[in-house]
Amino acid sequence: MLTIKNLHAEVDGKQILKGINLEIKKGEMHAIMGPNGSGKSSLSSVLAGRENYTVTQGEVIFEGKNLLDMSPEDRAREGLFLAFQYPVEIPGVSNLHFLKTALNEIRAYHSLPAMESKEFLKLTKEKQQLVDFNANLMNRSLNEGFSGGEKKRNEVFQLAMLDPKLAILDETDSGLDIDALRIVAAGVNKLRSADKAFMVITHYQRLLEYIVPDFVHVLYNGQIVKTGTKELALELEEKGYDWLKEEVHQKESV
Amino acid sequence: MTSDKSFYEFISNGVPGPEQKVDADNAILPARKLAFGRFKELGLPTVKTEEWRYTNIQRYLKDAFTLAQEEQGTVTAEQLKAAGIPQLDSYRAVLVNGRLQADLSTLPTGGKITVSKVSDAAGNPQLQAWFDKHPHLQSQPFAALNAALFADGLFIEAGVNASLDKPLHIIHVYTASANAFIQPRHLIVLHKSATLEVIESAVGINDNAIAFVNGVTEVVLEENAELWHYNIQSTVKNSRHIYHTSTTQKADSRYHHFNFTLPSAELTRNNLSVALTGSNTETNLHGLYLATGTQHVDNHTFVDHLVPNCNSNELYKGVLLDDANGVFTGKIHVHQDAQKTNAFQQNNNLLMSEKANINSQPQLEIYADDVKCSHGFTVGRFSEESLFYLRSRGIGEEAAKSLLVNAFAFDITDQVHIPALQDFLAEKIRQYVAGAINN
């Protein structure tokens, strides 16, 4: 579904990604871990098309198409979704209106007619229940005055509504207490299916107790330095990142 | 009455007085003459005039204009449609160059609300009592020029406790074969406990001639009266507007004024002023300006707190594109007697290009000590992060920007209580953003 080859990117002239290689297939759950400043969020930004990042080398193929050639909106329309680490508050834009606009723009891209209001409301209700999103927040301005947990739940709710092929969750667990974390994770788990893939970016192993990954990748200094299964996450939890950093430096000095 | 070269020169020196007017009405003539004398005394402003510092009016008056008093012109169905508001259920007064066209209008009948031509009502005691009497107009040269030589306009009078089942929509059509200087004038008087909703909109003349509109509306709200007053400015590029709206509020009255300046008249100067002469009044002034190209939009507002216990709230918001230029001057004067005044003012701007410009100056003069007053001014650019967030959900750049401009304008548009008007404004915002992106 997604193939990242030798991806290099910089922001403000500073190299952040230094040759990422990653293959994600349908139905898979990939976790990206790594210490602060290793490039985890940069990777998600580059994939979603944030404009201040410049790709200097490499390519990203998403469902057979060159992802890096597309505008952010076309990436979303092709089925990529980024759950933001810091969802934006937009006063004056209602959650419902926003979602309807997004859904219909994606449908228009695929030459589908706009969704009828009745059908849209039915879908909304169904997905609200699925991810346990408070219906009272629907008519409020987008994320305005939402608690940290409500914002993150709204991201998962949007994910459920827009039904992407590949969802990237950027530190969705940050700022959540354990109850909110469980609810968000349960929502994500309900959305897992054989034809969807997930990339979960996290600092901590905690989230991975609830969302069990097929693969765990460790990002350090702009590269994936280790790939393993869920056991790797446990090992990191126990030993921290320092041993990995040393391994990398030893390799470099050889 | 035509100027062959600079109109500025012509109205400064050569313009004949009101007694020369073909339809000079006897009953109004003394007031016209007084105003003409005042105009002669005041003279036209220059950039050295404090109130006109940011708007070089000479620039807009250097062309030749005809004082379009007599030209009737014809109105096409298309023009009328262009000035209309889809789905709006309202009474309608259609004015061509300031003159009411009864055959194109649907006026309220049989009730306590009358709508007539100022020229027909010249002898009316209310008109005689209030015409050109507003204190704030006395120092304004363009208002004086209008009073001296105005074409015609509406006299709207609502009797005690009167109200209408739907808004009154005043549609101005400006039409002339050559450059024209057009001066409409209204007087709206709401007697005790009357309520009314008035929407005013305009459609410009053809693209080959310039319409310079110098309009004045005076409003009088007697005790406990309430007026919702919407002014929509959306004429063609080749039009220039100076508009004075001056309101007098008596005790317990409520005045809600909305000013929407939309593309694409090259000059819009609004002087909105309210004199609070009775206690316990409420005044809400809302303004939204969306400017593009080389539009120059100048809003001068003045809230004059003369007596205690009055509340005024002012919120003006602007979005400026391209080389557009905005001016906001908000004056609040709280007199020594006006204790327990609440007066708030806010001006927020969104600049969407490097060259767009805004000059904003609040002017608070407070001579009472037990008052709550505040003012604020912000200027910002689009939040790139908000834009990216929307785009990352599949919303295209145009739709995303439209959502954000709508969101910015929401505080204003949300206060509009007429759904058809809200929809109309949302559509205007959408067109504005689309125009901006396709530029």
Positive/negative CA dihedral, B109, B114, B118, B122: positive
CATH number of the domain encompassing residue A225: 3.40.50.300
Nearest C-alpha in A relative to B401? A93
d(CA A158, CA A152): 10
Chain A residues within 8 A of B394 when measuring between CB atoms: 73, 76-77, 102-103, 105-106, 109, 162
- A121 is in which domain, residue-wise? 2-253
pLDDT at A238: 85
- B392 with A73: Cβ contact below 8 A: yes
Tokens of B312: 């005024």
**A 136-155: CB under 8 A from B:** 141
Alpha-carbon distance B395 to nearest alpha carbon in chain A (angstroms): 5
φ and ψ at residue B267, rounded to 5 degrees: -135, 130
Q: Looking at the DSSP assignment, which residues form a beta bridge with residue A53?
A: A11
Total Cβ atoms within 10 A of residue B123 = 11
CB contact under 8 A, B397 and A71: yes
Residue B79 banded pLDDT, cuts 50, 70, 90? confident
* Residue B280 pLDDT class (50, 70, 90 cuts): very high
Total domain count for chain A? 1
Closest of B120, B124, B126, B81 to residue B102, by C-alpha: B120
Query: Rounded CA gap, B223 and A250, in Å?
Result: 87
Within 8 A by CB and 6+ apart from B418, the residues are B88, B167, B197, B199, B230
ipTM computed for the complex: 0.95
Q: Which chain B residues contact residue A45 at CB under 8 A?
A: none
Residue A137: pLDDT band by 50, 70, 90 thresholds? Answer: confident
Cβ pair B65, B181 in contact under 8 A: yes
Q: What pLDDT is recorded for position A178?
A: 87
Closest CA to B267 of B208, B212, B310: B212
- If contacts are CB pairs under 8 Å, which of residues 167-186 in chain A contact chain B? none
Q: What is the pLDDT of residues A209-239, one digit of tens each?
A: 899 999 999 999 999 999 999 888 888 888 8
Judge whether residue B302 has pLDDT over 90.
yes
Task: Note whether A165 and A196 are within 8 A (CB).
Answer: yes
Say whether B407 and A93 touch across the interface (CB within 8 A): yes
- Indicate the SS3 state at residue B232: strand
Q: Do A73 and B396 make contact, defined as CB atoms within 8 angstroms?
A: yes
Chains A and B form CB pairs within 8 A to the count of: 74
Measured CA to CA, the distance from residue A153 to residue A198 in angstroms comes to 16
Q: Is it the case that residue A254 has pLDDT exceeding 70?
A: no
A190, A191, A196, A201 alpha-carbon torsion, rounded to 10°: -100
Cβ neighbors of A186 (< 8 A, separation 6 or more) are: A132, A210
- Predicted local distance difference test score (pLDDT) of residue B439: 53
**B42 burial type by CB count under 10 A (0-12 exposed, 13-18 middle, 19+ buried):** middle
Beta strands in A35-161 (DSSP E): 53-62, 65-66, 80-83, 90-94, 141-142
Q: Does A98 touch chain B (CB under 8 A)?
A: yes
Judge: A101–B395 Cβ closer than 8 Å, yes or no: yes
How long, in residues, is chain A? 254
List pLDDT tens digits, range B385-404: 999 999 999 999 988 988 88
